[in-house]
Chain A
Amino acid sequence: MTSAASARKNAPIWVRLLLPRDAPLYQRNDAVMGWLMALPALLILTIFLVIPFMMAFVVSFTNQRLISPNPAEWVGFRNFERLLTIRNFTLEPERDDSGAIVYADGEISYPRLREFTRNNPDYPELDGLREFTSWQSGDNRTVILVGDVVFLRALINTLIFAAVIAPLQGGLALLLALLLNQALPFINVFRSIYFAPVVVSMVVVSLLWRFIYDGQNGLLNTILGMITFGNFQPVDWLGNPYTAMPAMIAMSAWQAVGFHMVIWLAGLQTIPVSLYEAAGLDGAGAFQKFRYVTWPGLRNTAVLVLIVITIQAMGLFVQVDVMTRGGPLDATQSVVFQAVQRGYDKQDIAEGAAISVILFVIVFTIAMVQRYLTRERS
């Protein structure tokens, strides 16, 4: 080796890249080439994802407004405190002069919470808090007071939405994929049909489903009425706090099931036919083939589908915005809807940013846990 060549070898990467040499660039250093190829994507991700998130992180510790002549100030953890404050409080029954518990309609009567949570100098720590839930404990009532009922509901709703839709949508998609992974005539027609809702904008789908769920003469009520010969009492699907979220879950699962079906299909087609043939020779039935050939072969696909559905579910927004705007009685509030509503509609960009930061931490944690649980075990 000449001394020049060894000097080149010991030089830093950028020097080596700049020095003229006979071999073409892509042969010189795979790592450098790799970074170069990733550069455009990294640049775009940095500008549109990393930097905005950093800004959101910074803004979440200020009182920055969307429209305001007032300069932004640091407020520490105020935004997070408001969102996440939770306290429990024991409400004692009302007692008459003799100290006996007062009953009204056979139930113990309690003072109104507002007497403690509004302008009561004896309970400054409760000021502005609202009841999230409460239960009976002896004669007393234990009340969970929170700083932001709507946000907490949104958070719980979103987690429930994700927890239900991940197995539901993933499972349905797998079922469809298994059905469609056959060499039947017109199979592509069916594949296209199941994929169609994915291509349609979520806004349009949501609008259509609002008609379907209409409480008076919606398609769903009409069909249910027909197949029960008119015995079915029409349900106001989106107007009832108990049915609104299930209705939204069903509609969301339907909309994106085709997308995950295609991913499952791709996974299915990577499994060699010879494995099935070998299993058949060993006397495996249809279920055993699925259990011992298909499912292990779909392992990586399953991890992907699960993580993608969960992340999408945590970003629940369009359906809520178009169909219910979080109602009725906060039954369909979602975290992203609250971030957008507070950040833009209510012009409190700092609080919107704080919600985004909390969402990031949650999604990151869930993704890490999923990675850990689905890791390759040796």
Chain B
Amino acid sequence: MKKAASLLVLAIMLVAFSGLASAQTELSLWYHGAGNETERSILLGIIDDFNALQSDYAVVLEEFPQESYNSSIVAAALAGDLPDIIDVDGPVMPGWAWAGYMVPLNLSEGALDDFLPGAIGTWNGDVYSVGLWDAAVALLALESTLDAHGIRVPTLDAPWTGEEFDDILEQLQATGDYEYALDLGMAWTGEWYPYAFSPLLQSFGGDMIDRDTYLSAEGVLNGDEAVAFGEWWQSLFERGLAAGTSQDGADRETCFIDQTCAVQWNGNWAGLGALEAHGDDLLFLPAPDFGAGSTIGAASWQFGISSASENPEGASAFIEFAIQDEYLAAFSDGIGLIPATSSAAAISEYYSEGGPLEVFYGLSNEQALVRPVTPGYATMALIFEKALADIANGADVLDTLDAAVDEIDQDIEDNGGYGFEM
């Protein structure tokens, strides 16, 4: 009898405790960075802080490998099984927002005032996602190389002109010291092509799509400016100035470190490795200006709220909590990303004043242009990638760009304008 009574007390206590624990509503968070320990520990740190500092919500992390993250989200959406908070790659966000996977953020007034433009994901006038960091691309070169050949060091205000850049590549190639004067990273198939190369097209005055209407690429991707870009692009490979589409991934990683290429078009994430190899001699230079300005791509992974969430306020509260400067700086220090605010950059290791990667913050802030903000981007990006690869391999420039335009326009038409007024 006594034993039964004590069991009963135990049972009551158990129920009471579990009741206490569930006083916090659970919010699930899906993240794309499975396998990266540093990223995980920083993110878990933010989650633990959030869960400890308020009693309404408890965020629970679930990680996916990057390669299968997007398809996991799509599958979950089709199955009606989305988590509360998702992270989303910047250019993909409009697609998910349009499809109804996401709802706009509900952040307090002014929360994003100091943010880099590329870290804010806007669609249809609403902010759907915000990034704790951004990424940027620059030309990597050695000061000693430029000095030795009497080449001027370009600045943000006075980048190399297109002609100047071309002459420099010819000059460096002619030295015979390098396999290729320029490494564009052609081995990185996929999103690298539109992310890294569409800014060069924009600098010529073209683009992937007419950003006024988002309904057609006619005249923009196959106009005179785009053709001029295409001719120049093709000539880089014809003249043997850059490695083509069959470039080996290992060459991409090591050519600048080993100095078998003189100038490299690469992201801030590669900056630390290059710094280790070359120290003070290393320069991060802005993109050349081919006539319509010097520009680079923007937007990296960002956080947003899924439409399936029953607690969007809670999800918003977590995101607002996560975008504090100290966390932005923590991610930057941990994995080398560009902090999304200037105040976070100031307290970060690499992007503070005098920090080794400081220049990238300036690039992101001054020059960054987000990739076309349309649900059609995912398809457009692949079409663009194929066009650039074909042109690099010697296909007729105008015909290839025409075909890309036709395919993009067809896709937009098939999708009823992707939410834009037809």
Contacts and interface: CB of A to CB of B under 8 A. Distances in A.
Interface string B380-392: 0011001001100
B107 to A, nearest CB: 25
Interface string B215-250: 000000000000000000000000000001110101
B248 A346 contact: no
A346 B389 contact: no
**Interface majority SS on B: helix, strand, loop or mixed?**
helix
Interface string A198-235: 00000000000011001110100000000000000000
Contacts of A315: none
A149 B390 CA distance: 13
Contacts, number: 83
Contact of A67 (B74, B244, B246, B389): B74
B253 interface: no
Interface stretch (B196-204, B283-291, B356-364, B395-403): B395-403
B403 A130 contact: yes
A346 B246 contact: no
A128 B390 contact: no
B123 interface: no
A348 B408 CA distance: 12
A341 interface: yes
A329 B410 contact: no
A69 B99 contact: yes
B80 interface: no
A346 B179 contact: no
A65 interface: yes
B406 A128 contact: yes
Given A128-B410, A239-B246, A346-B379, A69 B393 contact: no
Contacts of B398: 112, 114
B326 interface: no
A216 B414 contact: no
A197 interface: no
Interface string A105-123: 0000000111000100000
Contacts of A70: 415-416
Interface residues of A, number: 38
B393 A67 contact: no
A129 to B, nearest CB: 9
Nearest to B410: A128
A149 B403 CA distance: 10
Contacts of A113: 399
A327 B382 contact: no
A348 B411 contact: yes
A344 interface: yes
Interface residues of B, number: 38
Contacts of B101: 67
A6 interface: no
B85 to A, nearest CB: 19
B96 to A, nearest CB: 7
Contact of A328 (B245, B250, B403): B245
B379 A327 contact: no
Contact of A114 (B74, B244, B399, B411): B399
A330 B246 CA distance: 13
A236 B248 CA distance: 11
Given A346-B378, A346-B411, A348-B379, A238 B100 contact: no
Given A68-B99, A69-B100, A210 B379 contact: no
Interface string B93-107: 001101111000000
Contacts of B248: 210-211, 214-216, 218
A325 B187 CA distance: 11
14 contacts: A67-B101, A68-B99, A68-B415, A112-B398, A114-B399, A149-B403, A211-B250, A236-B244, A326-B386, A327-B389, A328-B393, A329-B390, A346-B378, A346-B411
Interface of B: 71, 74, 77, 95-96, 98-101, 179, 189, 244-246, 248, 250-251, 375, 378-379, 382-383, 386, 389-390, 393-395, 398-399, 402-403, 406, 410-411, 414-416
Interface of A: 63, 65-70, 112-114, 118, 128, 130-131, 149, 210-211, 214-216, 218, 236, 238-241, 325-330, 341, 344-348
